[in-house]
Amino acid sequence: MLEQLYNALFVGSVYALFALGFALVFSVLDILNLAHPTTFMLGAFAAYFAMTAVGLPWYVAGVLAFFVCGAFGIALDRIAFAPLRRRSAPGLSAMISSLAVTLIVVRLIELRYGGDFITFPAGAVPSLVLRIGDAVLEGIRLGIVVLSIVLMLGLTYVVRRTQLGRDLRALAENPRAARILGVDVDRAISATFFVSSALGGLAGVLLAFAYNTLDSRMGLPLELRAFTVMVVGGMGSLPGAVIGAYILGLGEVASLVYLPTELRDAFAFGLLFLVLIVRPTGLLGHRAADRV
Amino acid sequence: METLLEFFRTYATAIAVIGISALLALSVWLTLYAGQLTLGNAAFMGVGAYVSALLGRHLDTPFPLALLSGALAAAVIAVPLGVTVFRLRGVYLAIATLAFGEIVRVILLATPITGKGQGLNGIPPKTELWHIYLSLAVVAYVLWRVQGSTVGRAWAALREDELASASQGIDVRRFKLASFVIGALIAGWAGGLSAHLTFSIDPSDFGFSKAVQILVFAVVGGIPNVLGPIVGAVVFTALPEILRPLKDYRDIFQGLILLGVIVFLPRGLVTFLDVRRTRKLERIGAADVA
């Protein structure tokens, strides 16, 4: 029981980090960034590259991957979203262009590393086992939970208390008014993408460390789960995304215990559909669900 | 003549797949034309595929009747689903229909009669090339006629401004539902054809990536008229065949083309067929349709 709660907390933390980046871009720019799972995967591979080809220790590789993914986020915006924004194209176009980037990046990674699962060299990722009574808990997961919570608090601080956060909230409210009031809109958008993608990439690094495995399609299962997390919490609400992530983590671990394996995914999508029908604004959403 | 026959024999499967892709692209075009982004058509395709294959297997249903039942099953599911999800709009609608698709996939994975994860094998290959292209011709013609009719104009009005069209007396919910249900019917029919072409089906054939692929056909081709989705399906199904020598770089080319179309050709590939009209629309800022 303790082990399962522990795993739920761990899975929820990874979902939360991933979904926060997704929700941040959606709340500020109304874009569903379908390349976010690709950033997740890219983070894991950037860390792998730094550890195997450059020989850096795991913690340096993790930090490096964080910044590489942040930079990738800015590039992604310039290539796939900025041109659409200039002609104020509808949201559908941004979904498709981020999908195009996904096709390209996933294939580039496969050309270098192939499409199969790969693992980190033995001993490259520290392993530490905690024993509490009968329960066997992996130490690295606890580290991930703590780190995720620290990062979530950090993001909350940035959004609520700093000038950048005020700029972002102004931008989310009304881009034109924000520009008129002297907000450096382009800088704020780049910052949004940097933070969003850096968090998404870091989530990928952490998951790869915890399971000691990575592959070019590891982001796909998270894409639909991130939708669930965001809808349950309220689209674009950052605290909502965190709450939604832990609800999903808990529910998934519980359904692994109580349901047959074929129904593993049923919880996530059943919950998603139910919330959309019963309460489209989610737990903490305040905006009307019928926005176009 | 001989070389032409040779060509058809070599590429028969590819040509058949192109036709089915075009049907699917038209099925999602309907809702896009009415301004609604739905991603449930892969699941409707799955419903059509499974229902027609199972009827043929267990009840010896004749092929045309099995196809029709598959399509009708998809449409029957689409009615209550549409009534429920069309309270939502935009991204919410897209995600809700996506969730429906995943639920269908999970149900297929968990039900013994659909063969769970293995799916169905040994489906008799009854689909002929002419079945597919006759269906495509009929569907394209009907949709082309509907586009020019009052119904088509109502859909276009809905897309441009829902509130304004409601105030002009257009029954918004009924027209949205109609586009959704007819789309499901077409997708279900295409699913039946596809199942009797490929010998085997399994739940992963009708998942998220299929839903997105269908959307890509329609958007890349262009939403302004029925030709768009057909062009998109032809280009994006034929491209992997043409790029076979460059197999390793195929996805990269597809990605670049997709990006290029979205960034530079907001109205899709059919822009090339109708350059003057497009330029005019771009000047008045109405170039984006979906």
Asked if A36 contacts A42 with a C-beta cutoff of 8 angstroms, the reply is no
And the tokens for A232?
A: 């349950």
Going by the DSSP 8-state scheme, the letter that residue A81 receives in this structure is I
Q: Does any CB of chain B come closer than 8 Å to the CB of residue A223?
A: yes
In the prediction, which pLDDT does A38 show?
Answer: 95
Coil, helix or strand for A131? strand
In the prediction, which pLDDT does B290 show?
Answer: 42
In the prediction, which pLDDT does B278 show?
Answer: 61
Q: Give B2 to chain A, closest Cα distance, Å.
A: 39
Chain B residues contacting A via beta carbons under 8 Å:
37, 84-85, 87-92, 94-96, 98-100, 102-103, 105-106, 109-110, 116-117, 162, 208, 212, 215-216, 219, 248-252, 254-256, 258-259, 262-263, 266, 287-288, 290
Nearest CB neighbour to B96, from listed A96, A270, A273: A273
Whether A273 and B99 lie within 8 Å, measured CB to CB: yes
Q: Give B257 to chain A, closest Cα distance, Å.
A: 8
Residue A135 has φ and ψ, to the nearest 5°, of -75, 135
Asked if A272 contacts A231 with a C-beta cutoff of 8 angstroms, the reply is yes
Residue closest to B249 by CA, chosen among A179, A102, A134, A107: A107
Contacts of A168 (CB under 8 A, 6+ apart): A28, A159, A188, A191, A192
Coil, helix or strand for B154? helix
Contacts of A272 in chain B (CB under 8 A): 95-96, 99, 102
Q: Give A136 to chain B, closest Cα distance, Å.
A: 32
Contacts of A83 in chain B (CB under 8 A): 263
Coil, helix or strand for B168? coil
Q: If you average pLDDT over residues A255-277, what whole number do you get? A: 82
Better-scored residue on pLDDT, B278 or A44: A44
Does the residue A288 lie in any domain? no
Can you give the residue range of the structural domain that contains A17? 2-218
Does the residue A136 lie in any domain? yes
Residue B40 has φ and ψ, to the nearest 5°, of -100, 0
Contacts of A62 (CB under 8 A, 6+ apart): A47, A202, A205, A206, A209
Going by the DSSP 8-state scheme, the letter that residue B114 receives in this structure is G
Nearest CB neighbour to B256, from listed A32, A95, A104: A104
And the tokens for A215?
A: 């592959």
Contacts of B42 in chain A (CB under 8 A): none
Whether B290 and A108 lie within 8 Å, measured CB to CB: no
How far apart are the C-alpha atoms of B109 and B111, rounded to whole Å?
6
Whether A273 and B103 lie within 8 Å, measured CB to CB: yes
How far apart are the C-alpha atoms of B128 and A290, rounded to whole Å?
44
Contacts of A26 in chain B (CB under 8 A): 91
Q: Does any CB of chain B come closer than 8 Å to the CB of residue A291?
A: yes
In the prediction, which pLDDT does B274 show?
Answer: 66
Residue closest to B99 by CA, chosen among A283, A270, A26, A37: A270
Distance of CA B98 to the CA centre of its chain: 14
In the prediction, which pLDDT does B24 show?
Answer: 96
Nearest CB neighbour to B255, from listed A89, A101, A289: A101
A77-93, pLDDT tens digit by residue? 999 999 998 888 887 88
How far apart are the C-alpha atoms of B106 and B101, rounded to whole Å?
9
Say which residue the tokens 């941004």 belong to. Answer: A94
∠ CA B142-B146-B147, nearest 5°, is 115
Whether B87 and A290 lie within 8 Å, measured CB to CB: yes
Q: For strands A129-132 and A135-138, give the pairing.
A: antiparallel
Does the residue A81 lie in any domain? yes
pLDDT tier, A239 (very low <50, low <70, confident <90, very high otherwise): confident
∠ CA B55-B61-B64, nearest 5°, is 105
Q: What share of chain A is helix, strand, coil (3-state, %, to 5)?
A: 75, 5, 25
In the prediction, which pLDDT does B289 show?
Answer: 46
Does the residue A231 lie in any domain? no
Say which residue the tokens 């509808």 belong to. Answer: A90
- Count of structural domains within chain A: 1
Contacts of A28 (CB under 8 A, 6+ apart): A168, A171, A172, A188, A189, A192
pLDDT tier, A188 (very low <50, low <70, confident <90, very high otherwise): very high
- CB count within 10 Å of CB B1 equals 5
Say which residue the tokens 């980090």 belong to. Answer: A17
Contacts of B248 in chain A (CB under 8 A): 107, 111
Per-residue pLDDT in tens (0 to 9) along chain B, 290 residues: 677 777 777 788 888 999 999 999 999 999 999 989 899 999 999 999 999 999 988 898 899 999 999 999 999 999 999 999 998 888 889 889 989 998 999 899 888 888 888 888 888 888 888 999 999 999 999 999 999 899 999 999 998 888 999 998 899 999 999 999 999 999 999 999 999 998 899 998 998 889 988 998 998 888 888 899 999 999 888 887 788 787 788 888 888 988 998 888 888 888 777 666 666 665 555 545 44
Q: In chain B, whose CA is at the least distance from the CA of A267?
A: B103
Whether A103 and B216 lie within 8 Å, measured CB to CB: no
Distance set, CA A28 to CA A77, A235, A238, A291, B163 (Å) = 13, 11, 11, 15, 26
∠ CA A40-A43-A47, nearest 5°, is 150
Burial of residue B265, with CB atoms counted within 10 A of its CB: 0-12 exposed, 13-18 middle, 19 or more buried = middle
Q: Give A38 to chain B, closest Cα distance, Å.
A: 14
Contacts of A155 (CB under 8 A, 6+ apart): A20, A24, A195, A199, A238
And the tokens for A230?
A: 């965001």
A124-159, pLDDT tens digit by residue? 787 777 777 777 778 788 888 999 899 989 998 998
Residue closest to B184 by CA, chosen among B75, B81, B79, B98: B75
Whether A100 and B256 lie within 8 Å, measured CB to CB: yes
